[in-house]
Structure formats: structure tokens, C-alpha cells
Structure 1
Amino acid sequence: MKPTLDPFSWALIKLRRGRIRAPCVLDRVPRVSVVIACDNYGHYLRQCVDSVTRDQPGIEVEVIIVDDKSTDDSIAVARSIKDCDERVRLILHEQIKGHIATYNDGLDAATGEFVLLLSADDLATPGALTHAAELLVAEPSVGAVFGNAFQRRFACEPHRWKKLD
């Protein structure tokens, strides 16, 4: 049987934007490791890293880029990002290991209290890591947090992409 809430409780949840409890102020700065798997996504990598290092207040971010022997300019892009930001580390595979091994290598190197796995062609929304860390710190019984996925739709035309949104 599904638990039910009274109308007052539902109103409070709606006012709190879906949260059962009001957001809490963090009493410490949690460290979040972001493992970014890259396989020939050099043209997306800078934007991906920017999405997890900017507009994420109140947390300490560690970025681990794991390149699975890309043949494009991914390694050069990753090195330039690393040279400009001390929070970024780089792991380079000497041979192709595949997606799971790439993530596992990043997880082995992570030192954060919390971890986010991303592909280099993914983005985090502003504040997403902060909100997730707030929830995980406030509710130790929570083991995973996820948000809504946003996608832009494109249609393929001969030699062009057309945005549908």
C-alpha cells in the first residue's frame, strides 16, 4: 500500500520544489570527483569540464579525464585544460580498454567523497553538483542522486544538422 500525504504536506512539498524537507546549509565543503570518459570527443571536452567546474558553489571539485586512446585532438585539449586548472587530472590509456575500464580507472583515481561519472559529450547543469552534495550530506541514507535529463533534438539533413527545439 502506497503511503499518502495530507494536503498540507503536499503543499509544503510543492513550495519546496519537490523536496520533502527544506534545503539545508552545508556545514562543510564536500569534495566531488567528476570522472570524464573521453573517446574521440575532444571537441566537446572543454565544455564538459566547464560545466562541472563553473557555477557549482559550495563544493570542492576534482576532475579526472580518462582518455581511452583517442585518435582526434582529445589528448591535446585535455592537456591544455589540465595546464590551466589544477583541479584537473589526466589519465591516458596506451591501448583501447573500453568504456567500463575507462570509468573504473577514473574511479580508482578519485579522492572525493562523492563521484559523478560523465562522458565527454555530456554536461552538468549549473548548481547540479551542489544540490546533489547538499542532499547526500543532509541524508546519509541516500546512496545515489540523479536529476532530469535535458536533450536537444536534431534532425539530420545532407551535410547539416538542424536544431528542432
Structure 2
Amino acid sequence: MKITGKKISVVIPSYNHQAYVLKAIESVLNQDWPHIDLIVIDDGSTDRSPQILSDFHQKQGGFRYISRSNKGLVKTVNEGLTIAEGEFFCLLASDDYLTPGSLSCRASYLIENPGCVAVFGDALQLTGDKVSDQRVMDAKRRRLFELADPIPEFLKGVNLPIHTLMARTEIFRNIGGFDERYQYCEDLDPQLLLYLAGSIKFIDVPVYCLRQHLTNSSRTNRYIARADKVLLYRKYLEEVPQLAPYKKLIRYQLTRQYLLLGRYLNKTGTPSNLERKIFAGAVKYSWRDMRLLWHLLLLRLRGSID
């Protein structure tokens, strides 16, 4: 472990986790890295989290605490990134916690490898108070770091656990932080953009305990994420020139996400205004897949889209 004067910023976006948030904070305060900039932002919690955090902050100190009305996860994380003072930056969900030495092993790697812009660690799954031996970084995710060109795998949707990431703060800011256009896919975008900005690596060490809830994302939310993925692939086509060599794959993935979104919209029959606006772009890609054309025509016949 290489201890230096470099500061690490850890952002905890807190929302309705009164039973867990203090454990998250304590897991940061108990780290062996001496220079930690801990930022806790309560995003309009409706449980007792604000009072619990306020009391703990007055009694314990050692971190910056912000309490305000609800703005959503992505805006909250970006707020933390904006005010972060550390050279390195990472996230911690308010219902998870860090393993001992989590910050030092990742920061030391970045210090010893100046060409590396970000490093991922592994995570252990947590159910209730029980920590499983099961790792989050499966073979498919680990394989990304062995490939000469992992971009196609990123574009196919291989998703790394963003909370095990530690990145150089300025690089993270330079890529735009987390894109606030997305509701459910905010963690997919930075991974690829960080890779385009420089080298990203993996250390085979559990740095994070990731809580598994029985109330995981609903089927509806998964389909709403399809709209996010449409926006994501459109961004890659239109706004990220470094991805020009991969346009064929991006168009394929975009058409696929339009198809999945079309199936959902036809099933529910009541698309939101945003979903209507997003799906209208499917016209351009409908010739690539007759199933997509069918969903588009059916929605128009029903008057669900223009």
C-alpha cells in the first residue's frame, strides 16, 4: 500500500436508507487512507435519514453533509462530483459499505500506474447482514480487461459494477460525469467513456459489499431502461466520434433496443410523452427489422404515436 498526501473523494447519495446509511459512512471513516473527502448528500429522504444524518454529523463530524429536496440519483451524484476536492473519486450507495482497505488498494494502484485513468475492484454480495463469498465480477466482466479491444463488449451491454470504480476526478469530470438524460442506465455510459479517455484496469480484490434487495427493479423499470438505452446508442452514434469505427454494431444495438421498447409500448398501450418522442426515432431504423416496423405501424394505428 502506497500512502501519500493525495486525497480521495467518496460521495454517498442518501435516499431512504435509514437502517443502513450510518454503516456506509462508518465504513469510509474507518478506512486506513488518511486523506478522505467524504461527501454525504441526502436527496430528500422521506424516512428518518435526514435526522439520523444530521445528528451523526453534529456528533461525529469528519464529513461534509448536504440535505435538500429530491433531485434524483444522477443529479445528486453529479453534485458530489462537482464539489469533490480529492484527486481520486468513487461512489458508495447509502445501503452498501466498503471493505477494509478498499480505498487504499485502489488509490495505490492509480498512484503506481499514472497512465491508468480508473480502476475497478470486485464486490461481495450482501443479503441482510450476511456477506456471501460470491463475487460480482463474473467471467464475462473479467474478460473485458483481457481484451485488446473491449469496446464491442461494452457496446453489447457488458456492465461493470460502477461502485467498485475509482477514477481520477478530473478525467471523470472531463467525460461529463453521469449523463442526466438517463433514468436507469446512468452507470453504463461512464465506463465506455473512461476507456476512451485512457487505460482502465481491474484489481482482483473485494473492495465493496453490494446489498441485494428483494425489491429489485421491477419489470416495468427494466422496460423503461430500454428507452434509456435507445438514447445511449443514439448518443454513441451522434456525439462520440471516437466510436465511428463501431457504427455498424451500434446501429444493430440501437435497432434491437427500439424493438424491445416497441414491444413494451404495444403491450401497455399507454406510452408517456417522453417514450413517444423517443420511439418516433424508430422510423429511421424500421427497415432493418420487420418486427420493428410492425410495432411502429401498430402504435400508429392505435394513435399511440404520431
Normalised by the length of structure 1, the TM-score is: 0.72
How many residues are paired up? 132
Partner of 1:13: none
Deviations 1:5-51 (A, max 9, x none): xxxxxxxxxxxxxxxxxx6x33x222111100111012111100111
Partner of 2:53: 78
Is contact 1:67–1:92 with CA below 8 Å preserved after alignment? Answer: yes
Q: Aligned partners of 2:76 and 2:116: how far apart in 1? A: 26
Q: Aligned partners of 1:146 and 1:68: how far apart in 2? A: 26
Residue 90 of structure 1, aligned match among 65, 72, 85? 65
Residue 150 (str. 1) matches residue 127 (str. 2): no
Partner of 1:42: 18
Residue 112 of structure 1, aligned match among 81, 86, 110? 86
Q: Aligned partners of 1:99 and 1:163: how far apart in 2? A: 26
The 5 A counterparts of 1:111-150 are 111-150=85-124
Q: Structure 1's 163 and 147: CA in aligned 2 closer, same or farther, altered over 3 A?
A: closer
Which segments of structure 1 move beyond 2 Å, counting only runs of 4 or more? 84-87, 162-165
More helix by share: 2
Three-state SS of the structure 2 residue aligned to 1:57 is coil
Q: Provide the identity percentage.
A: 35
Cα offset for 1:70? 0.4
Three-state SS of the structure 1 residue aligned to 2:65 is strand
Cα offset for 1:153? 4.2
Q: Aligned partners of 1:148 and 1:75: how far apart in 2? A: 30
What are structure 1's unaligned runs of at least 5 residues? 1-22, 155-161
Q: Aligned partners of 2:87 and 2:6: how far apart in 1? A: 7
Q: Aligned partners of 2:7 and 2:131: how far apart in 1? A: 38
**Structure label with greater radius of gyration:** 2
Cα offset for 1:163? 6.2
